Amino acid sequence: MLQPQLNNVSCNLASQAAHQATTHKKAYWQWGDPLAPHVLVCVHGLARQGRDFDVLVQALLARTATPLRIICPDVVGRGHSDWLADPMGYQIPTYAADMLALLTHLHAQVPIGTLDWVGTSMGGIIGMVIAGSQLPLPTSVRRLVLNDVGPVIQWQALQRIGSYLGQTGRFASVQQAADAMWAISKTFGPHTPQQWLALSQHMVKALPNGSADGAYTLHYDPAIAVPFRSLNEEASAQGEAQLWQLYDAITADTLLIRGAQSDLLSPAVAQAMTQRGPRARLLEFAGVGHAPTLVADDQVDALAAFLLAQ
């Protein structure tokens, strides 16, 4: 089975708390041909990490003879990336700046000729910033997949996510952690026990030896919840205009995926996204809420057909 290589890039952050620029390490998983000029970036959701895309990546690499470099970052505060000293840094501007630093780093290694993007939830919002802003990218985004996210996020979904975000827990085993995550993740849709365990194993890390209350905890900084919980409904609504402006500026060929039972991306917003901006193609998956995990055969087939089309 193919395995990725773990790499790091140094990113800078202007810290208001420290009144100076600070540096943090951003980890990313690299798959495929490290010399390929065609780069696909896959970015995970709010409390997830880059290994969420293992199944999709392996399928894409198995289905194409064209050299392809696939990059799956751990957004700062998650996975193998550093944690920030100032939790208010855990917001989209930081994440987008880090992605620009990553793309610049990759371009310096091997010039990027073609750039595609897959973003799940938060990763999709970051993708809208990257594709819709006037950033100094190595090249513009060619194809963009937005996985169950758009410019308008339903407030009830944010409240649901906020009810558990930051509770990283203590678990006696990876399986126990997987069971706990499943209890709050059933909106992801049907998964076999094997599929869910595979998705879960990279979501946990071992606690230091001698821990009295468990061997594992979730692999993200609980402080990512701090700026999330400072958001109110009015501020969320105010951000919608900015996100629509970004979306309307996107020129990439765009595929919008929606879980048919999603509480985060409404049917009305999804339809509006097909009629303005890049006029995304909309594909819904029955029996799934927020958000499709891209491990089911029909989901993988749909993304492979879109991303690998000549």
C-alpha distances in Å from residue 286, one per residue of 152, 189, 262, 298: 21, 9, 10, 11
Helix (H) or strand (E) holding 182: helix 174-183
- CB neighbours of 224 closer than 8 A, spacing ≥ 6? 46, 47, 77, 78, 87, 90, 165, 166
pTM confidence score = 0.95
Q: Residue 308: left if φ>0, alpha if ψ -120 to 50, beta else—which one?
A: alpha
pLDDT tens-place values along the chain, 310 residues long: 589 999 999 999 865 554 567 899 999 999 999 999 999 999 999 999 999 999 999 999 999 999 999 999 999 999 999 999 999 999 999 999 999 999 999 999 999 999 999 999 999 999 999 999 999 999 999 999 999 999 999 999 999 999 999 999 999 999 999 999 999 999 999 999 999 999 999 999 998 765 555 689 999 999 999 999 888 888 888 889 999 999 999 999 999 999 999 999 999 999 999 999 999 999 999 999 999 999 999 999 999 999 999 8
**End-to-end alpha carbon distance in the chain:** 26
C-alpha distances in Å from residue 247, one per residue of 135, 225, 271: 14, 26, 14
Query: For residue 273, what pLDDT is reported?
Result: 98
Query: For residue 234, what pLDDT is reported?
Result: 83
Q: What is the DSSP string of 42-64?
A: EE--TT--GGGGHHHHHHHHHH-
Helices (H) and strands (E) in the chain, counts: 10, 10
Q: Rounded to whole angstroms, how far apart are CA atoms 303 and 143?
A: 11
Q: Rounded to whole angstroms, how far apart are CA atoms 123 and 130?
A: 10
Q: What is the DSSP string of 110-132?
A: S--SEEEEEEETHHHHHHHHHHH
Domain 5-163+241-307 belongs in CATH node 3.40.50.720: no
C-alpha distances in Å from residue 227, one per residue of 89, 222, 224: 8, 11, 7
